[in-house]
Amino acid sequence: CLIGALGESAGGLRLITSGAAIKTDEQKRLIRSHLSPTPLVNEGRILAQSGLCSASIDISDGLSSDINHICAQSGVGARIAEERIPVSKDLLAVFSGSTTELTEFIFNGGEDYALLLDVKPGGLQKLQHSLALIGSRLCVIGEFTAQNQVLTVKANGEVRTLDPEGWDHFR
């Protein structure tokens, strides 16, 4: 599951480094997302106190890297439905003309501080309700699997391996 939207910080960074004139509110909000990310502290507390989550990580290195971190440490794989990944309206408004950039921002951008987590069987509705009380949304984006690989599935059924291509601190 995921709490928060992906790609905003990477989109903001692209706007900053491109030298383009910043004219729209959507562009300004993306830049603000990059310069002043908001950690989801209250959401993290709810997850910890619920006892319904046994693995979580913030998306600071990019979804492709961070999901692979969880899977490697847990000895599992994952299957992610791309159309279920929450993407901000601002990111879509600014970069809708470039699906390649959008895909890069969503899977390999980082610093969004969205939370990626598992939910124990039977706990999904309770956790969704608890998070909704503070105005947060828990989105189911896929499932963990017994395979030792991370896959993404497009809406058309196309499956691809999701290799870690986000930030690597040792590169």
**Does residue 136 carry a pLDDT above 90?**
yes
* Confidence (pLDDT) at 170: 54
- Residue 163 tokens, joined: 């290799």
Q: How far apart are CA 86 and CA 130, in angstroms?
A: 19
**Does residue 171 carry a pLDDT above 70?**
no
**Does residue 156 carry a pLDDT above 80?**
yes
pLDDT digits (tens, 9 = 90+) for 76-120: 999 999 999 999 999 999 998 788 888 899 999 988 889 999 999
| Contact yes or no for 41/144 (Cβ under 8 A) | no
In whole angstroms, what separates CA 154 from the centre of its chain?
A: 16
